[in-house]
Amino acid sequence: MTIAEANRSHDARDAWSRKPSLRAVYTDLYQRIAARCVPGVILEVGGGSGNFKDYAPDTISTDIVAAPWLDAVADASRLPFADGVISNIVLFDVLHHIEFPVQFLDEAARVLRPGGRIIFSEPAITPVSNLFYTHLHPEPVDMKANIFAVGEPDPNRDPFDSNQAVPTLMMHHQRDQFEARFPGLRIYENQLTSLLAYPMTGGFRPWTMIPAAMVPLVLGLERILIPILGPLMAFRILSVIERRS
């Protein structure tokens, strides 16, 4: 782990503590993830700034980058767990950072028990969000990427490298290929979320356009509008993938 990688995790944790509007939006998303977990062991992959455990305290929190608030260092493509011992794998803004998502999903299928779940919240690429992510966000969007590629991990790759298009390609544009590639997994739930409140917080950057007190009102409005406006301007995907019995 480099000093720069460690600093990014600490910077994210600092931003979390400084921005109540961001915490309010993420609390809603974390609660949605926790509510979709089935009974049993919860493994967090890519624990980052270590916030999910506030909503599911018994979670085993891991990341490829070490931090004192995490339980273990682990590569998402080589999970250090026996077959069929995990009930839930949760990820928050992690899937689009994984070098070979297919290899992670193979590992997830291996360690999950039958009926176990992969639950994640990730960027959604829609006509409006694409403008934001492409021009106002530092991570790239490559809608032509081959997300089913496999290979040997690059030891020199920055673990924060990413392609924000990966979850949208996997869950929407290339869903048929996903289902053919992973017959032991099924997409149990797949919904678009986050219209206004999330981008208005500014994420982990210093600025924000929404006070924390307004977040619950905006989130309530989003729940009404998401069936209509989601395909046009949703900023996130919330997905549940279940291992078949």
Here the CATH number for the domain that contains residue 92 is: 3.40.50.150
Which two structure tokens, joined as six digits, stand for 156?
A: 């020199």
**Amino acid at position 171, single letter:** M
pLDDT at 118: 98
Q: Rounded to an integer, what distance in angstroms lies between the CA atom of residue 3 and that of residue 72?
A: 18
Distances (CA, A) of 66 to 25, 59, 80, 93, 94: 26, 16, 15, 17, 15
Distance in angstroms (rounded) separating the CA atoms of residues 223 and 221: 5
Whether residue 102 is predicted with pLDDT greater than 60 in this model: the reply is: yes
Per-residue pLDDT reduced to its tens digit, 50-64: 899 999 999 999 999
Res. 3: pLDDT tops 70: no
What would the mean pLDDT of 24-44 be, rounded to a whole number? Answer: 97
Please give the tally of structural domains in the chain. 1
Sign, Cα dihedral of 146, 151, 156, 159: positive
Domain containing 9: what range? 3-243
Reading across the β-sheet that carries 112-123, which strands appear in turn? 72-73, 60-63, 42-45, 86-92, 112-123, 236-243, 185-193
CB 101 within 8 A of CB 177: no
> How do residues 206-237 score in pLDDT, each as one tens digit?
899 999 999 999 999 999 999 999 999 999 99
